Structures are given as structure tokens and as C-alpha cells.
Chains A and B, each alone.
Chain A
């Protein structure tokens, strides 16, 4: 469990780092209003998928 937690944290840090680079290199990612719709849809899809693992 501790190893999974450590690996998850490393993965998260790398993900955030990559995203920071991408945002600064892609002009299209500076429009918050345009970004939020795909983010919302991705979250909703993953949230629905996660409910397959409920008791």
C-alpha cells in the first residue's frame, strides 16, 4: 500500500509537470472557458466508469 501510494504520488507529480509544459507551449490551452467542457466530460465519464467497482 505504501509503495502504491508513493508510485501514485510520483505519477501525479510527473503528470502535473507534463501538463504545465504542454499548457505553456499550446496557445489553445489558455482559454479556460473552452477547456472546462472536455474536462467536465472526461471527469463524468471516468466517474461513471468508477461506479462499476462499487459494492
Chain B
């Protein structure tokens, strides 16, 4: 459990740092000085575009095409202590931009930070969105049985990977709803 906690803590830390960096960049580049209505229009347009990306990913049964197509290297497990590897993995995946993205909602959230439209601590919401369910899943008896079984058994991870399309659909719905609400607020 200490390994899982290290992974989750590193994930949250990296997410907080990345969103804070995006917000800081928005301030340094003067983006936050732009009129809020302009930034809201850019945000709405971007979110709706990302929804199209999610729908396309669903149709093609692929992961989000935006971003670096890599995952944390597993070979590190054989060379270094598991606690250090878990911390590095957590930090790598928590950075958003260095590994696979399942849904474009990740980019939508980072985009809003880059436009100076979200709080600097938004990364904490991203980190908690992953870390809490992750730790709850590890506490499930299914994973424990799989770890102790004499023969290989599916701990439910394959089932989760098959739910990718549903998550992408939900992400697309949220991105469209968010874009629609932002545009509606300008027109109303």
C-alpha cells in the first residue's frame, strides 16, 4: 500500500505542478490581460473541437490522438527499488503531457489553465480525480485475489480498458456541455 500511496502522491504532485505552470505561463505571456470574453470564446471553441477529437477516438476505437504516445517504462521495475519506480511512474503520468491520454478532457482542462481561466490549484482536482478511485480500486478484493492466485487470473483491468469508449463519450459530452454553457453565457 505504501507503493500505491507513493504513486498516487507523485501523480497529484505532478498534476498540481503542471497546471500551476500552465497558469503561470498564461500570466507571463500576457494572456490573462486579454478581455475575459475573448478568452471565453477561445475556450468554448477549443472545448468543442476537443469533443470532436473524443468522438473520433470513439469511432476509431483508439486513445486520444493528441499528445505523446508513450507510457511509463516498465523495465525500470527490474533495475530499481519499487518505491522509487512507483514514485517516478506517478510523476510521469501525472504530468499530463508525457504519456497517453485516454480522453481529450485532459487537454480541455489544461487549455483552460493556459487561457488563465482556471485556478492555479486545478491540478489538485485532476490529481484527486485519478488518485482517489485508484486507491479505492486497489482496496477491492478482486485485485487482492488476483495477486494471491496460483494461476493467472484477470483482476478486472481488461474490463476497465474495454470501458475506454464510454469514458471518451462522457468526456465528449462534458466538453460539449461546457463549451455550450460558455457560449450561452456570452449570448444571454
Contacts and interface: CB of A to CB of B under 8 A. Distances in A.
B181 A29 contact: yes
Interface size bracket, A side:
35 or more
Interface stretch (B77-85, B147-155, B163-171): B163-171
B102 A19 contact: no
A20 B59 contact: no
Contacts of B123: 44
Contact of A48 (B15, B58, B160, B172): B15
B128 A23 contact: no
Nearest to B129: A48
Q: For the complex, would chain A's binding face be called helix, strand, loop or mixed by DSSP majority?
A: helix
Query: Can you list the 3 inter-chain pairs with the closest CB atoms, starting with the nearest?
Result: A48-B129, A40-B118, A45-B129
21 contacts: A1-B61, A15-B176, A19-B181, A19-B184, A20-B184, A24-B188, A36-B43, A36-B112, A39-B178, A40-B112, A42-B178, A43-B105, A44-B19, A44-B118, A44-B122, A46-B129, A48-B127, A50-B105, A51-B106, A52-B133, A52-B160
Interface of B: 15, 19, 36-37, 40, 43, 47, 55, 58-59, 61, 63, 71, 93, 99-103, 105-106, 108-109, 112-113, 117-119, 122-123, 125-131, 133-134, 137, 160-161, 163-165, 167-178, 180-182, 184-186, 188
